[in-house]
Structure 1
Amino acid sequence: MALTPQNNDAFIREVDDELRREQMSHIGRRYGLWIIGAVLLALVAFGGWTWWQHHRNTVAGEQGEKLAVALDDVAAGRSAQATAAVQALTTSDWDAVRATALLTQADLLLGKDDRKGAAAAFAKVAADDSLAQPFRDLALVRQTAVEYDGLAPQAVIDRLRGLADKDSPWLGSAGEMVAIAYLRLDKPQQAGQTYRLIAQTESVPETIRARAVQMAGSLGVDAAPTPAAAR
């Protein structure tokens, strides 16, 4: 007896369903262990990654606390106690901790009047391209300040040119050193313009801006703050 269209469609669906079940059963028999293994491996990998992230965050927190204690020791004059703690943190995997520890180490050397050692320590940070640029720039400014008396004026200008800029957060410190270097080169106009830039940049601390106004005025340059900077 011939099948009606409805019976034919039902028969085809039953055949398709049975074929799918057979295919899934075949896949399960052949690849079941592999699939289970892959799922377990993915779960283990995810669990390991989660643990590692937690571990890193825990270590970072512990190192941050140690650094804070070391900085408190430095501020309190307990340099011997701080030195050991800071030294241990100079190899930290966390850039901010490592950079701060290295900068603090340089400051401790400076506190012992070891200017050569301090300058070398600052130079090491300034040259470390694995650290964020603000740490490197700060180290360069500090290195230059330590070495200033022994540097040729043009060397100071060349070294700090990019930091004695309106958009630089180090304009105050770097700019003053550059301005003095211009004076040592007998270039009062360039020195006056540098002081003027310092005086009229709002982000520079007020004490440095006030000093820059006076220095510029002594060089015949009007460095009075603009209305925007005076607010």
Structure 2
Amino acid sequence: MSEEFIREVDEDLRQKQLTGLWQKYGSYLIAFLVGIVIFVAGNVTLKNYNESQYAEVAEQYGKVQADVTANQLDQALKDIEAISGTDVEGYKILIGFKAADIHMQKGETEKAVVALDELSSAAGVEKVYRDLARLKAAMIAMDTATYDETKARLAPLTIEGNSWKYMAKELLAMAALTAGHGEEAKNLLTELEQDLEAPDDVKTRAKDFKSVIQ
């Protein structure tokens, strides 16, 4: 049995392990992101419905929600466009994430990423939400983007003090592994494992992903 054949089998097994890990943990990360957005949406909506000056935008946003529920996605996007220029606090965040979600439901991945990119650079939006939009855009685009593109999106989020540091490092490590940059992935995962402040589940995932790197 040749060394080349053994190497190919080895590589195939590692790729299957990586795919399995992504299937296991990718859904967790996506669910976490969705949960954060729903939490933000709930807080903003409750706050704004209780203040009369938000009533008009709240009503228009309610139409968007109703359109989505009725599966009238094109109409929902038109309704979003009608209020996309609003300066009402909080709704710019909701509109950006909702537009991306609708495009994803329509199978329009590139448009979803564009909507999130616009939110990530929007004026008047708190940094934590702009960074969340950047993170979600990177996750959506991971299957089609180059590693350099993914890195450009995520690297600013991996710095100390960023709210999304751990998740950004995990995603960047996954992208590095997929692109064949094993050493870079290993360094990121080692940082996660050795970070004293990292949650235990983050350290566990980092250890699992490291196990597929030679």
TM-score, length-normalised on structure 1?
0.56
Question: Does the 8 A contact of 2:84 with 2:95 survive in 1?
Answer: yes
Deviates more, 1:146-155 or 1:63-72: 63-72
Higher RCO (CA 8 Å, separation ≥ 6 residues): 2
Between Structure 1 and Structure 2, how many residues are aligned? 162
Runs ≥4 residues deviating over 6 A: none
Residue number in structure 1 paired with 2:98: 104
Deviation of residue 107 (structure 1)?
A: 0.9
Counterparts of 1:149 and 1:205, CA distance in 2: 27
Larger Rg: 1
Counterpart residue number, 2:41: none
Q: Which moved more, 1:127-136 or 1:190-199?
A: 190-199
Question: What one-letter code is carried by the residue in structure 1 that aligns with 2:107?
Answer: D
Q: Which residue in the other structure is 2:213 paired with?
A: 219
Deviations 1:85-130 (A, max 9, x none): 5444423222411121121111111111011211111111122233
**Distance of 2:58 and 2:111 partners within structure 1:** 25
Q: Secondary structure of the equivalent of 2:53? A: helix
- Structural RMSD (CA): 3.2
Match of 1:193 among 166, 171, 187: 187
Q: Residues 87, 110 of structure 1: CA spacing in aligned structure 2 closer, same or farther, 3 A cutoff?
A: same
Q: How many angstroms does 1:62 deviate by?
A: 5.5
| Contact 1:154–1:181 under 8 Å retained in 2 | no
Mind listing any 5+ residue stretches in structure 2 that lack a counterpart? 1-50
Give the match's secondary structure for 1:162: helix
Match of 2:87 in 1: 93
Change (3 A) 1:73 1:213: farther
Tell me the equivalent position of 1:157: 151
- Quick one: structure 1 residues 202 and 127, their matched pair in 2 at CA, closer, same or farther if it must change by over 3 Å? same
**Aligned-partner residue type, residue 114 of structure 1:** E
Which residue of structure 1 lines up, in the alignment, with residue 168 of structure 2?
A: 174
Task: State the AA in 2 paired with 1:152.
Answer: T
Structure-2 change in CA distance of 1:197 and 1:58 (3 Å): farther
Structure 1 stretch displaced more, 95-104 or 164-173: 164-173
The farther-off stretch of 109-118 and 190-199 is 190-199
Q: Deviations over 1:130-165 (max 9, x none)?
A: 322122111111222222233221232232112124
CA distance in 2, matches of 1:58, 1:114: 35
Preserved CA contact (<8 Å) 2:135 2:153: no
| Matching residue of 1:224 | none
Cα separation, 1, equivalents of 2:99 and 2:212: 39
1:70 is displaced (CA, Å) by: 5.0
